[in-house]
Amino acid sequence: MTHLIAIGGSDAGISAALRARELDPSTDVTVVVADEYPNFSICGIPYYFTGEVAPWQSLAHRTAADLEAAGMNLRLNTFGTGIDVAGRKLAVRTPGGSTEDLAYDELIVGTGALPSHAGITGLDVLTPEDGVHVIHSMGDTFALDRFLDNHRPQSAIIVGAGYVGLEMAEAFTVRGLHVTQIQRGPEVLSTLDPELGALVHDELTTHGVEIITNTTISGIQKTAAGLNVTGIRSGSSFEQTADLVLVVVGVRPNTELLEQSGATLGAGGAVVVDEWMRTGLPHVWGAGDGIITHHRLLGPTYLPLGTTAHKQGRIAGENALGGDRKFAGSVGTQVVKIFDLVAARTGLRDHEATAAGYTPATVAAAADDHKRYYPGAQPISFRITGDTNTGLLLGAQLVGRRETETAKRVDTYATALYAGLTIEQVSELDLSYTPPLGSPWDAAQVATQAWDAAQRVSLARV
Amino acid sequence: MTHLIAIGGSDAGISAALRARELDPSTDVTVVVADEYPNFSICGIPYYFTGEVAPWQSLAHRTAADLEAAGMNLRLNTFGTGIDVAGRKLAVRTPGGSTEDLAYDELIVGTGALPSHAGITGLDVLTPEDGVHVIHSMGDTFALDRFLDNHRPQSAIIVGAGYVGLEMAEAFTVRGLHVTQIQRGPEVLSTLDPELGALVHDELTTHGVEIITNTTISGIQKTAAGLNVTGIRSGSSFEQTADLVLVVVGVRPNTELLEQSGATLGAGGAVVVDEWMRTGLPHVWGAGDGIITHHRLLGPTYLPLGTTAHKQGRIAGENALGGDRKFAGSVGTQVVKIFDLVAARTGLRDHEATAAGYTPATVAAAADDHKRYYPGAQPISFRITGDTNTGLLLGAQLVGRRETETAKRVDTYATALYAGLTIEQVSELDLSYTPPLGSPWDAAQVATQAWDAAQRVSLARV
């Protein structure tokens, strides 16, 4: 019987524990969870604030009782404080504050990531009670919820315009707050090309969100007028005041435990693991947002995503029991819904492809989600990136209305990237068609044909 | 300058003509069209009858003016009657009834298919004016439209419960007719396993369609009480009367022209072509519903689909100009919307895989389209077929509500089939996730994981 300990109650740790129990129900599995909310869907928190998800308990993928029924011993409110690698013992701080050593045969570390502060002063002293929030855990959620209830803020500044920032802009707007969203770069949702980010920008503006781009926030002060954020906007000083400030400027890997045990740090400051999820420390495995991600097009990178954490956790759980499975790698597929718009990407953008040694071209296209004669047809905007030497598909970005099946259309490209298909091969795919839901050449193929046509024109010009 | 003639104004012929003009705008292209409705979306006709598409002219993918602007000479109401292969001349019957010889350099034959009569007596003498209809052309559409307007039928019998039959059941129901749908086999939509066909059956019944299965119709008679269809139901005689009868029991390839020119017939009685769309007759190419289809898993088969016709036409148009492109092959991807349900398939079903020499297993699964905590989550029903020797994905069948992105989820499997992925590899794919639109393991992967788990159980039993 293997005694497996997983540290981390989020996607990676729980996936590892579930997989181990699935493959060998005799495995003794302990999951060490820093708070009392194991297996909560952090991605769902914005929908708790919109009011679409209630009560908060429903955000649990599985309840504690479900997890225990699946054979896990849960150690809640418990922190891993040190690993005795040679002795195979994990030191933990118990809820009572004492220290305890837990023996293990195999240890899976899924300590995840922590919210980045991006050097903003004031974040270290101002608290949720002051109206300054991050949103990365159920504890953060409750703190924000309390602040909204107790202080009834009228206005919010959101620093950051990535996935969570945009989802929270929607949530605050739905709750009646006036939202100012501040973005360092030239356009919101900087994981997409600005041409597509601009569509998301419009959707936010349409719903009353005030967007301020090219602005870097350096400090937050509490003043009589409210919370005052200050920084630089396009070279000039910037300040704005609101009742609430939410800082969502990304995450940094939470590597302390593995780092002090001798693990190596790599891309993005995350712990290096191989494709079997081995940390290099004997019997210690890593998974999730604290480790590097093997990317099928980029190699090792740092790309923390819930989908990846689930897959890595599953691999770690299998290999910890003696399995020999490699993580197949990410292609960076991501999707977000913002009001009634869906924005998705997979693979590389042009500058990322160039940096990775490809010779890319990126071509824009638009195509209706279904036959125009059938009611409700709406265009999807595409940007397709391919390698001009090999014709390989390198990436795809899509923005469409919510009804356009954009989220699952990006999966066609994600599958093609996994399989290493060329852009021509995407045009050859036998995709589904019925007039209310598609076209004889699917919109995804209209886009790849546009890429091919652009290369022909470009060749003809040479 | 090449003089290209395409016979057929539907998907194959028009795609060939467009591709030729795209690649070489100097190409002289003539398209011979049997009626006066080139490039109409036959797949859209049911939505004309629901009233969702109006006027009928909007069913045109492109207008005659569009086609002429793209450089085609359209010869409408003109029939190809004979090919002088050696002399490279096509004999046509003009609208005036005279015969004319059209010289060509390259000829692409896209004469499509004709409605099957399945040996039903009465179909040859009863006409649309009597209330007996098929639905395969704009002429059929106008005839049915006139009958509905002039006779205001209260009841309809639809013989056949395939894609078009089901779509027309919806259309007639929406228009207030009582519909009896008669199916030869044990369940409607026999392109899916009956377990999933049953879900479609329920959707039809919920909307008031009366379904009669296991019933073969052999004749239609006009009586004082209406149109009387007779046949055998589960071994006993069957008859039913209605004001209107629509026979939609499939199609047969329209091969006369190529057959009399010396082309070879193959699967399903369709004309044999190679993967370059060559008929074997010099300078004569075939594409669309009149020819065999190269299937990536089955080899040559007969599987007439609009998506395939578009692809084949495009290949024929390119190769007729000296190109060297192979048709990559179909995987049989199909989707249909019936009321608020979407049913899709790609690849092979269990018995088809067995017949093709595989050792398949088929496993059922159900998974929510998105996270259950977010409003509107609905289950998608899956049946996954894989090869138990190699683990290769062989096919997938899906039924879900309209909002579940089922149509584009089948495309993930279609792409995986194209690429020859295993079922395990589908579980490795980096698919998109956000709580309103997916799950960390997409429903498509929950289904492939269920297939793998079932094989483990099955191995453990051995």
CATH number of the structural domain spanning residue A288: 3.50.50.60
A47, closest residue in chain B (CA to CA): B374
Position B1 confidence tier, pLDDT thresholds 50, 70, 90: confident
Would B49 be classed as within a structural domain? yes
A249, A268, A289 - which closes a domain: A249
B334, closest residue in chain A (CA to CA): A432
Question: Could B409 and A411 be called an inter-chain contact, meaning their C-beta atoms sit closer than 8 Å?
Answer: yes
Taking a C-beta distance cutoff of 8 angstroms, is the pair B53, B138 a contact? no
Q: What is the pLDDT of residues B309-335, one digit of tens each?
A: 999 999 999 999 999 999 999 999 999
Question: Could A415 and B410 be called an inter-chain contact, meaning their C-beta atoms sit closer than 8 Å?
Answer: no
Residue B149 and residue B222 in one domain: yes
Would A122 be classed as within a structural domain? no
Taking a C-beta distance cutoff of 8 angstroms, is the pair B356, B406 a contact? no
- A1 burial (CB, 10 Å; 0-12 / 13-18 / 19+) is exposed
Question: Could A336 and B308 be called an inter-chain contact, meaning their C-beta atoms sit closer than 8 Å?
Answer: no
Of B43, B415, B433, the CB nearest to A434: B43
Would A329 be classed as within a structural domain? no
Residue B233 and residue B258 in one domain: no
CA B107 to chain A, closest CA, distance in angstroms equals 23
- B407 burial (CB, 10 Å; 0-12 / 13-18 / 19+) is buried
ipTM over 0.90: yes
Q: Which residues of chain A have pLDDT under 50?
A: none
Q: Residue B298: is its pLDDT beyond 80? A: yes
B307, closest residue in chain A (CA to CA): A440
Sheet holding B89-93, edge to edge: B79-84, B89-93, B99-103
Of B410, B417, B429, the CB nearest to A414: B429
Question: Could B416 and A419 be called an inter-chain contact, meaning their C-beta atoms sit closer than 8 Å?
Answer: yes
pTM, rounded to two decimals = 0.97
Question: Which one of B200, B310, B408 would you mutate to disrupt binding with A, by most A Cβ within 10 Å of its Cβ?
Answer: B408
Task: Write the CA distances from A130 to A36, A127, A176, A178, integer angstroms.
Answer: 24, 5, 20, 18
At A344, is the secondary structure helix, strand, or coil? strand
Residue B58 and residue B132 in one domain: no
Question: Could A428 and B419 be called an inter-chain contact, meaning their C-beta atoms sit closer than 8 Å?
Answer: no
Overall average pLDDT of the B6-29 stretch: 96
Q: What is the residue whose two structure tokens read 């300040």? A: A239
Of A328, A373, A407, the CB nearest to B432: A407
Residue B380 and residue B288 in one domain: no
Give the separation between CA A246 and CA A401, rounded to whole angstroms: 27
For residue A46, give both structure tokens: 């914005």
Residue A271 and residue A230 in one domain: no
Question: Could A432 and B440 be called an inter-chain contact, meaning their C-beta atoms sit closer than 8 Å?
Answer: no
Q: How wide is the angle at C-alpha A237 spanned by C-alphas A235 and A242, nearest 5°? A: 130
Taking a C-beta distance cutoff of 8 angstroms, is the pair B191, B352 a contact? no
Q: In A, which residues are within 8 Å of B371 by CB distance? A: 41, 44
Q: With residue A7 as reference, give the H or E element that holds it.
A: strand A3-7
- Pick from B298, B314, B302: which is nearest to B273 by CA? B302
CA B221 to chain A, closest CA, distance in angstroms equals 34
Of B44, B375, B435, the CB nearest to A435: B44
pLDDT value at residue B4: 98
Residue A262 and residue A368 in one domain: no
Percent of all residues in chain B with a pLDDT value above 70, rounded to a whole number:
99
Residue A104 and residue A8 in one domain: yes
**Chain length of chain A:** 462
A420, closest residue in chain B (CA to CA): B419
Taking a C-beta distance cutoff of 8 angstroms, is the pair A316, A16 a contact? yes
Question: Could B438 and A58 be called an inter-chain contact, meaning their C-beta atoms sit closer than 8 Å?
Answer: no
Q: In A, which residues are within 8 Å of B59 by CB distance? A: 373
Q: Where are the beta strands (DSSP E) in B334-378?
A: 334-338, 341-347, 360-368
Question: Could B418 and A440 be called an inter-chain contact, meaning their C-beta atoms sit closer than 8 Å?
Answer: no
Q: In B, which residues are within 8 Å of A200 by CB distance? A: none
Number of Cβ within a 10 Å radius of residue A91:
15
Q: In A, which residues are within 8 Å of B399 by CB distance? A: none
Give the separation between CA B440 and CA A421, rounded to whole angstroms: 24
Would A72 be classed as within a structural domain? yes
List of residues 6+ apart from B94 with CB closer than 8 A:
B75, B77, B78, B100
φ and ψ of A232, to 5 deg = -125, 125
pLDDT value at residue A461: 66
Residue A132 and residue A226 in one domain: yes
Question: Could B432 and A375 be called an inter-chain contact, meaning their C-beta atoms sit closer than 8 Å?
Answer: no
Would B422 be classed as within a structural domain? yes
φ and ψ of A92, to 5 deg = -130, 155
Question: Which one of A411, A423, A428 would you mutate to disrupt binding with B, by most B Cβ within 10 Å of its Cβ?
Answer: A411
CA B61 to chain A, closest CA, distance in angstroms equals 9
Of A342, A412, A453, the CB nearest to B415: A412
Residue A94 and residue A8 in one domain: yes
CA B59 to chain A, closest CA, distance in angstroms equals 6
Of B307, B308, B408, the CB nearest to A409: B408
Of A374, A405, A418, the CB nearest to B429: A418
Q: What is the residue whose two structure tokens read 């060297």? A: B324
Of A44, A296, A411, the CB nearest to B412: A411
Would B306 be classed as within a structural domain? yes
Give the separation between CA B396 and CA B196, rounded to whole angstroms: 11
- A82-86: long-range contacts (C-beta < 8 A, 24 or more apart)? A82/A257, A82/A260, A82/A261, A83/A107, A83/A257, A83/A258, A83/A260, A83/A261, A83/A281, A83/A284, A85/A261, A85/A262, A85/A281, A85/A282, A85/A283, A85/A284
Would A425 be classed as within a structural domain? yes
A220, A249, A278 - which closes a domain: A249
Residue A29 and residue A107 in one domain: yes
Taking a C-beta distance cutoff of 8 angstroms, is the pair B184, B215 a contact? yes
CA B416 to chain A, closest CA, distance in angstroms equals 7
Q: What is the pLDDT of residues B122-133, one digit of tens each?
A: 999 999 999 999
Question: Which one of A62, A415, A441, A448 would you mutate to disrupt binding with B, by most B Cβ within 10 Å of its Cβ?
Answer: A415
Burial B245-275 (b: 16+ CB within 10 A, else e): bbbbbbbbbbbebbeebebeebbbebbbbee
Residue B350 and residue B258 in one domain: no
Would B277 be classed as within a structural domain? yes
Question: Could B344 and A412 be called an inter-chain contact, meaning their C-beta atoms sit closer than 8 Å?
Answer: no
Domain count, chain A: 3
- Facing residues of A121 across strands? A219
Q: In A, which residues are within 8 Å of B334 by CB distance? A: 432
- B45 burial (CB, 10 Å; 0-12 / 13-18 / 19+) is buried
Range of the domain at A218: 128-249
Give the separation between CA A35 and CA A74, rounded to whole angstroms: 11
Task: Write the CA distances from B353 to A365, B396, B417, B422, integer angstroms.
Answer: 38, 12, 13, 15
Give the separation between CA B360 and CA A320, rounded to whole angstroms: 31
CA A374 to chain B, closest CA, distance in angstroms equals 6
Question: Could A411 and B418 be called an inter-chain contact, meaning their C-beta atoms sit closer than 8 Å?
Answer: no
Task: Write the CA distances from A153 to A51, A58, A144, A194, A230, integer angstroms.
Answer: 17, 26, 11, 31, 20
pLDDT value at residue B458: 77
For residue B422, give both structure tokens: 């295993």
Q: In B, which residues are within 8 Å of A407 by CB distance? A: 405, 432, 434, 437-438
A405, closest residue in chain B (CA to CA): B405
Q: What is the pLDDT of residues B402-446, one digit of tens each?
A: 999 999 999 999 999 999 999 999 999 999 999 999 999 999 999
B249, B274, B299 - which closes a domain: B249
Please tell me what DSSP assigns to residue A49.
H
Q: Residue B462: is its pLDDT beyond 60? A: no
Number of Cβ within a 10 Å radius of residue B62:
16
Residue A97 and residue A18 in one domain: yes
Task: Write the CA distances from A16 to A29, A451, B58, integer angstroms.
Answer: 10, 41, 54
A429, closest residue in chain B (CA to CA): B415
CA A41 to chain B, closest CA, distance in angstroms equals 9
